[in-house]
C-alpha cells in the first residue's frame, strides 16, 4: 500500500519540484494541489493526482482532505508548501496585504494541519513537513511582515512536533535559503507597490530591491527548487527525520552567523549591505 501525500502550492517553484520528485517514487501516491487545476495539468503525466485546493478557503481545504481520505482512509503525509512574500517597510505596507499573506503562510498551514491530524492519529502514524524559510530565523529590512509569518511557522512546527510525537506523527521544518523561483519577482513587485512616491524609505527600498535581485541571480548564494524538493523527500521518507533541514550552504552560513553575532553586530552588517533609511 502506498502512502498518500498531499502537497500544497504545486503550480510552480518548490511545490512543483517536490510533486514531480515525489511522484517518481513507487511507495507514495502524490496529490498535487493548487487553486486552479489548469495550472498543474502538466503534473498528471508525471504521476501525480490533481486536486483543487485554496489554503485560504475552508470549504476547499475540507473537500481536498475528504477526497484523499475517501480513497485511502487518511492523509498519510502533508507538505505545507503554499506561501508567498509580501515585502515592504513596516510603516508603508498595507495591512490588507499582510493579512492575506498570513492567511496563506500561517493560518492556511495551521487549518490544513488540523484537518489531517484526526486521520493520522487514528492510523497511529503520519508525517507533516512545513516549508518555512531561513527568514524564520533572521530578519532583513523590507521583509518584516514576511519574516513574521515564517517566525510563526517556526513556532507552530516546534509545538506540533512535541504534541504529535505520542501518536507516531513526525514533524519536520524545511528552511530554504534563496531559491530561484518566481518568489523573488513577487517579493520585488510587492516591495515596489508598498513604497509611495517620495517615500522616506526610498533609498532603503532601492537598496533592498537591488540586493534581492543580485542575490537571486547569484549561483553561489541561491539554488534551484530541486534542492528543496530533495530535502522534503528526506523529511518524508527518513526513518528518523531531522527536526529542521536548512537548504543551501549560504543559508546555513547566514543562520549560524546571525546566531553567533548577536543583534547589534548583525545590524551593523545590515547597514553595510543596505545603508540607512534616508
Q: What is the set of active-site residues?
A: 146
Distance between CA atoms of residues 65 and 42, nearest Å:
22
C-alpha angle with apex 224: 221 to 230, nearest 5 degrees? Answer: 115
- Count of CA atoms in the C-beta half-sphere (13 A) of 235: 31
Residue with cell 517615500: 199
Beta bridge partners of 61: none
| Secondary structure (DSSP) of 121-187 | HHHT-EEEEEE--GGGT---TT-HHHHHHHHHHHHHHHHHHHHHGGGTEEEEEEEE-EESSTHHHHH
Distance between CA atoms of residues 3 and 54, nearest Å:
22
Task: Indicate the angle between helix axes 108-123 and 144-164, nearest 10 degrees.
Answer: 10
Q: Are strands 77-80 and 126-131 parallel, antiparallel or unpaired?
A: parallel
CA dihedral in degrees (148, 149, 151, 157; nearest 10)? 160
- Cell for 277? 533609511
The whole-angstrom distance between residue 204's C-alpha and the CA centroid of its chain comes to: 26
94 φ/ψ angles, rounded to the nearest 5 degrees: -65, 135
Amino acid at each position: 500500500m502506498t502512502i498518500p501525500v498531499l502537497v500544497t502550492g504545486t503550480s510552480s517553484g518548490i511545490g512543483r519540484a517536490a510533486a514531480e520528485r515525489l511522484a517518481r517514487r513507487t511507495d507514495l501516491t502524490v496529490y498535487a494541489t493548487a487553486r486552479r487545476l489548469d495550472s498543474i495539468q502538466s503534473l498528471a503525466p508525471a504521476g501525480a493526482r490533481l486536486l483543487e485546493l485554496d489554503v485560504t478557503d475552508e470549504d476547499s481545504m475540507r473537500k481536498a482532505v475528504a477526497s484523499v481520505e475517501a480513497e485511502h482512509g487518511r492523509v498519510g503525509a502533508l507538505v505545507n508548501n503554499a506561501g508567498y512574500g509580501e515585502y515592504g517597510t513596516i510603516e508603508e505596507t498595507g495591512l490588507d496585504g499582510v493579512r492575506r499573506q498570513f492567511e496563506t503562510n500561517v493560518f492556511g498551514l495551521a487549518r490544513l494541519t488540523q484537518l489531517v491530524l484526526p486521520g493520522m492519529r487514528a492510523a497511529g502514524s503520519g508525517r507533516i513537513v512545513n516549508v518555512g524559510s531561513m527568514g524564520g530565523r533572521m530578519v532583513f529590512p523590507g521583509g518584516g511582515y514576511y519574516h513574521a509569518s515564517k517566525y510563526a511557522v517556526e513556532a507552530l512546527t516546534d509545538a506540533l512536533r512535541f504534541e504529535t510525537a505520542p501518536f507516531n506523527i513526525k514533524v519536520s521544518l524545511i528552511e530554504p535559503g534563496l531559491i530561484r523561483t518566481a518568489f523573488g519577482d513577487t517579493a520585488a513587485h510587492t516591495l515596489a507597490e508598498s513604497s509611495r512616491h517620495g517615500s522616506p524609505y526610498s533609498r532603503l527600498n532601492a537598496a533592498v530591491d537591488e540586493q534581492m535581485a543580485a542575490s537571486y541571480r547569484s549561483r553561489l548564494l541561491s539554488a534551484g527548487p530541486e534542492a528543496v524538493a530533495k530535502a522534503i523527500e528526506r523529511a518524508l521518507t527518513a526513518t528518523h527525520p531531522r527536526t529542521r533541514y536548512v537548504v543551501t550552504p549560504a543559508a546555513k552560513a547566514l543562520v549560524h552567523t546571525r546566531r553567533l553575532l548577536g543583534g547589534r553586530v548583525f545590524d551593523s552588517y545590515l547597514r553595510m549591505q543596505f545603508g540607512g533609511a534616508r
